[in-house]
Structure 1
């Protein structure tokens, strides 16, 4: 019985001793304040803020002296008279766990999980010409791709009107992130590609008439990578042609100068 009571007490201590972090989200560049929930600071109090296990700021209740330590937050942190911490010009690297403690209590005053989101780019919709029309499900359809670069903690979705067609999510930083969509050439429905995180979104609307052409019709209708390759190849061919012409002209000129009739 004694052992059972001890186990129960240990379980209760484990449950009530766990810090429940408050989730706070903000866009990069904005300001945010993490509150201590203290109404008045006592003279014998010392309030300290840590980022992970690193001390970043503290304020002394006796003289209200404020000190800041970590160089990554240089000139971007402020403490008010009761120890609440304000970030200005937030950065994505500010994301993480923050804890505020008081010398007068054993338990933390507050714990926060701060997430700073970068501004989302507008998705890019392009034609995927990597497959011949004979390999698609229909000769009357074209394959489109919605793409974004350098994003994390986002979801990329295709919508037909207000109806979700497909989506894909990524948590870690992704250099290239894309989602395909096959549409009919004569489709008159409204399609849009939406990139979003928990607090913001960016939308790109699809213009089928602009993108869905036969690939031989124009360079623009194909994906940006293929378009760049085609342009680079064309430029290379042009440079090579000019080089050959210049060489031929110089050769003819030298032959003319060395001919017997011109030697006299």
Structure 2
């Protein structure tokens, strides 16, 4: 009972943060947009994620994926407001199986992938110091854990697929890093820029149920899932490119 109460309290705190942050972002955007022009910004990143705490006790390997964010930068204030979408693969298993019991001489590739998709609202404070753009940021949103198994032909064409297990978790955190200006071009209204992004984030995650590599067992034609449940904290490192339009 105590464990359940503690997790319920944590989830209430996370929901509170997620309710507050969009309101703060909207208020800041409305107050500044009346005074300053905005510049559209988009970024693409490679990411590596390292599970933390109880999540790491269950998933002891790093995950890799892609991340994207878009939003608005205020030209006369060191502030970026936007949204982020990304995904990370934290386990892959591949094996060959007969196409069917009656056609054992034809085999197919079976692939099981453990995935974590994520989406957050992002508020970033980022002054320009010459060609260096250091930043700190806060973010809140959610994550979607799912394990998917697919059958592929020798030509890598998907024949069939199924989602084995799925769950969602609330997510919030903070981060920091630096962007290095690689290129800029002045236009009549603004400066266009290309920057190299190097940064890290620590994301706190509520409890979720998920599978890991080796969680799916097949015994005498039946399938059994070893399901894990924990908080889903993760440390993420990102390397990418940012564009100011």
With normalisation by structure 1, the TM-score equals 0.23
Q: Tell me which protein shows more strand as a share of its residues.
A: 2
**Larger helix share, 1 or 2:** 1
Greater gyration radius: 1
The structure, 1 or 2, with the larger RCO (C-alpha pairs under 8 Å, 6+ apart) is: 2
Give TM-score, length-normalised by structure 2. 0.24
